[in-house]
Chains A and B, each alone.
Chain A
Amino acid sequence: MPISVLVGQASLPSPHGPNQDYAGAVTPDGGEFSTKGVVLAIADGVGKVRGGGVLAEATVRTFLTGWYASPETWSASRCLGVLGKEANDAARRDHPGAACTLTAAVVLGRFLHVLHLGDSRAWLVRQGQARQLTTDHVWDAPEMRSVLHRAVGLDEEISPQIFREEIREGDLVVLATDGFHKAIDLVSEPLVIEEGESLDAAAHRAVRMAKTRGSDDDATILLARIDRLPTSEAGFFGGSEPELPAVEGAREGLEFDGFRLQKKLGGGRRTSVWLADDHEEERRVVIKIPDPQSVLEPGVREEFLREEWVGKRIQHPAVVPVIGLRGGRRTRLYYVMPWTSGTSLRRILTREGFLDAYAVTQLGLELAPALRAMHRLGVLHRDIKPDNILRDDLGRNRLTDLGVAQVEAFFDERGSEPGTPSYMAPEMFLGSPASEATEIFALGVTLYESLTRRLPYGEIEPFTRPKFSLAPPASRFNPQIPPWLDSVVMCAIEPDPKNRFKALSELEFHLERRERVSDQNSPPPVDPERRLRFWIGLALLGLLLSFAEAVALVAVKK
């Protein structure tokens, strides 16, 4: 079930002039925007002569729409940072000389993400107790009490306070400008919402009370009550249809929801992929179905829904997308992808041997931009390998299988990185998280394997900590590889990320220009101490053996 937040607001101007405060909130009611949450923003314009109020209104409006325009795959803090910067740039450009505070809060999932600049304030009220979340950006000296040192439009660069707080159902979020909080301190004098009172009415009551207490500034308050939060990740991704049952007994000829399964194309340990006919839209599609047994395991349903969610948001010609179905059509747990002729690169390599240099160059030039597009959205694929690349008859390559993709918006560092060990960069075995560098590595290994049908560092088993010594150049196994391509591939699979391409664009550049990578480092020295210990160990073992035998011989001779 989606989140439910009730909002109320009120604002009373100062006796001296027009209201320079502005407050706004957006509560989308389901649909595409529900995964961006609910946004609240409040701004207090500074300097009436120079259009502070106009700036405050423009800032809040732009912020609210900007939030929903920002990618869902970006982390909330990244979105807030970018929006804050844009607000500041717009302020300096369009409203020179004016400034305003900005305190914005987003209710997203279980968290409240806050962006704060200036001396408006945000509080979290839980069970009658208010806690101030923000610190005022004013100079401390008493004579300079109301001089802002951070605000929108004040400096070229801004450094807003961006943080998140965990929230619970029943919490009340309060945003208010200094016209309110200078007169009333919510921490010592909590706001009580009466039975049956609407939030708007409560807000009006609050600002009237601030005026009675002597506030002669614009007083504005924004209230948001958290009535319902998603109880699970499945609830977050699944939206209105989180509890779909699994497809039981998937087999050729099975029909459901207007689809008919034709042929099994493949499958991993937990899912199977099928070719199917879509009778409703009269097209061929590919359907990914999770195994009904594994759906019962905790986390698997969420994983699958998340995979679908990400798949719908990556739109690039070289990435196989997820097709959105007409609302209500789906009654089971599966998702649908468009069908293209072609097979996995893995099958092609197994059946037909390695690809020629031209084909591999094209492969790199098609996949690198796709990966860059994904990275721009804050998504790392993390499982680049021939098995996950589809190649059609015309030699066009597409990435597929976002099963272990990392989405910036949902990521908290913990646990070990998923992936396929033989394609994982060395630093990942030492605990480093996935990054553009590890994606470059995986792409490099894929290119190498496509050229030679061998893995540069051999097949790496899971649960190992292998040592990455120098890989043999691809040309050793495929003499038709031109030296420039050899050097490009070798640079991509460098064990030390410092010696690898710094960015995918660099890799693309060299592939496009057919240009050799210059100043490649000499092979890393073999660690002499390690080898010594290995041989000593072996020698001791041999000694032990001989000793045991000697004892035996002596004993027997007696």
Chain B
Amino acid sequence: MQIKEFMKAGHPPTLFASFLYFDISFMIWVLLGPLGVAIAKDLHLSPSQKGFMVALPYLSGAFARFFMGMAVDRIGAKVTGAIGQILVIGGLSWAWLSHIQTLSEVQILGLFLGIAGASFAVSLPLASRWYPPEAQGLAMGIAGAGNSGTVFSALFAPLLAKHFGWNAVFGMALIPAVVTLVLYLILAKDAPHQPPPKTLKQYGEMLGDRDTWWFMAFYSVTFGGFSGLAASLVIYFNAQFGIDAVHAGYLAAGCVLAGSVARPVGGRVADRFGGIRTLQILYGVVAVSLALVTIFYSNLILTLVFFVTGMLGLGMGNGSVFQIIPQRFRKEIGIMTGLVGMAGGIGGFYLATSLGMSKQLTGSYQAGFLVFVALAVFALLGLVGVKRRWRSTWGSPLNTTARI
């Protein structure tokens, strides 16, 4: 599809609003990661407590994605998104105004922030339903390109926390959140033609297909890795090399930037060379990179380099997975986005928590990374099976309308 055709085919204001909503939401979703160092210092948190704190938004986000996905079908995407944003704004306001001080209060905030992560389940259908089937992949790609929100968090949150205190940052986050909500309410519109709601039975049927599980696994590794690292890198640089939160934030931002710009590249590469082949290479790159991080753990330059290559691999992996999914699961794309998105969130939760626990129990993050490397290798091996099964005939002659 050409760009001009694409622009005319759907609803650009909604597409933009979806992108903005997702981008700012992503920024808020991962907020506890960069603030983690400052919060941990004030509340005297142990490594596993730190890990769990930054991971919690991912867990609640995973479930929130599922429920918001179901709400989208029943009460409309725009309304669901508005409710989500209001809840998040509410949570941030409460945290800021009541000056939260305890770990459990931060955890409650974490649960609210998870709702921001569920924006994925809203912005993708909100935008893509305006577009014809052949353009939906691209529309979803644009709406879902909000990964850059994480970069903003990593760049600015620690700096703001240093000058104004981490509590104030919650308040400052309200500014983009409210602006986004206003723009969203003005610009976004539900597409006129809405598909019927997906039933739990349909989800169950999808889970009967092996490919569904594999793609949930693939995305939980790539997105789990990306988001888990996004949450944990600031704490890692701080704990491992003694770098202060602000500079750790810059380093983390650089790594996350690599991962987020790599996403569309991954999609293009998958388009040209085949998603499975691409993912196989990328899992290899990720496994090797993270393994090297554990080996060169005392060398900052090398650690940085390998995190960047790892993030490039993970970011491209995200793009590749989402190049395949709309095509392989064409009719059930709504359900798959829901399931796979949830798996991604769980992956992020797992990685961030496991890094914290690894540090707590063994004194270093190595074990946590190595388990993740093993998961990447497992995914790589899983691809072999998928490749074999996909080597058969595709498509059905009944895709065409019969002349009978």
Contacts and interface: CB of A to CB of B under 8 A. Distances in A.
A463 B275 contact: yes
Contacts of B251: 552, 555-556
Q: Among the interface residues B274, B300, B308, B328, which one has the most CB atoms of the partner chain A within 10 A?
A: B274
A108 B403 CA distance: 9
Interface in B317-345: 323-324, 327-328
B401 A541 contact: no
A375 interface: no
Interface in B206-264: 243, 247, 250-251, 254-255, 257-258, 261-262
Given A537-B265, A549-B304, A412 B402 contact: yes
Contacts of B254: 548-549, 551-552
Contact of B258 (A303, A406, A462, A548): A548
Interface in A524-553: 537, 541, 544-545, 548-549, 551-553
Nearest to A108: B404
A486 to B, nearest CB: 27
A268 interface: yes
Given A110-B404, A383-B393, A545-B258, A463 B398 contact: no
A544 B257 CA distance: 9
Contacts of A464: 270-275
B104 interface: no
Which size bracket describes the interface of B in this complex? 35 or more
B362 interface: no
What is the predominant secondary structure among interface residues of chain A facing chain B?
loop
Given A464-B270, A467-B272, A416 B324 contact: no
A268 B390 CA distance: 10
B397 A233 contact: no
A151 B341 CA distance: 66
B396 A462 contact: no
16 contacts: A404-B393, A404-B396, A409-B403, A410-B402, A411-B403, A415-B395, A418-B393, A418-B396, A461-B277, A463-B270, A466-B272, A541-B265, A545-B258, A549-B308, A551-B254, A555-B250
Nearest to B243: A556
Contacts of A230: 404
A467 B261 CA distance: 24
A421 interface: yes
Contact of B323 (A415, A417, A420, A463): A463
A89 to B, nearest CB: 27
Contacts of B312: 541, 545
B341 to A, nearest CB: 20
Given A411-B403, A552-B250, A303 B398 contact: yes
Contacts of B301: 549, 553
A417 B397 CA distance: 8
Given A419-B395, A461-B277, A464-B271, A552 B401 contact: no
A241 interface: no
Contacts of B274: 459-461, 463-464, 466
A138 B81 CA distance: 65
A470 to B, nearest CB: 17
Interface string A233-273: 10010000000000000000000000000000000110000
Which size bracket describes the interface of A in this complex? 35 or more
B250 A411 contact: no
Interface of A: 75-76, 108-111, 230, 233, 236, 268-269, 299, 302-303, 306, 382-383, 403-406, 409-422, 459-467, 537, 541, 544-545, 548-549, 551-553, 555-556, 558
Contact of A466 (B257, B273, B394): B273
B392 A269 contact: yes
B305 interface: yes
A541 to B, nearest CB: 7
A96 B232 CA distance: 93
B127 interface: no
A202 to B, nearest CB: 29
Contact of A548 (B257, B327, B398, B402): B257
Contacts of A406: 397
Contacts of B258: 544-545, 548
Nearest to A423: B393
A462 B250 contact: no
Q: Among the interface residues B300, B323, B389, B397, which one has the most CB atoms of the partner chain A within 10 A?
A: B397
Question: Which are the 8 A-B pairs with shortest beta-carbon distances?
Answer: A418-B395, A461-B274, A415-B399, A548-B254, A109-B404, A463-B327, A412-B401, A299-B398
Contacts of A409: 403
Contact of B396 (A299, A460, A552): A299
B265 A415 contact: no
Contacts of A545: 258, 308, 312
Given A414-B400, A463-B327, A552-B250, 10 more contacts: A414-B401, A415-B395, A418-B394, A418-B397, A419-B394, A463-B275, A466-B272, A467-B272, A541-B265, A552-B304
A413 B396 CA distance: 13
Contacts of B404: 108-111, 230, 233, 236, 410
Contacts of B140: none
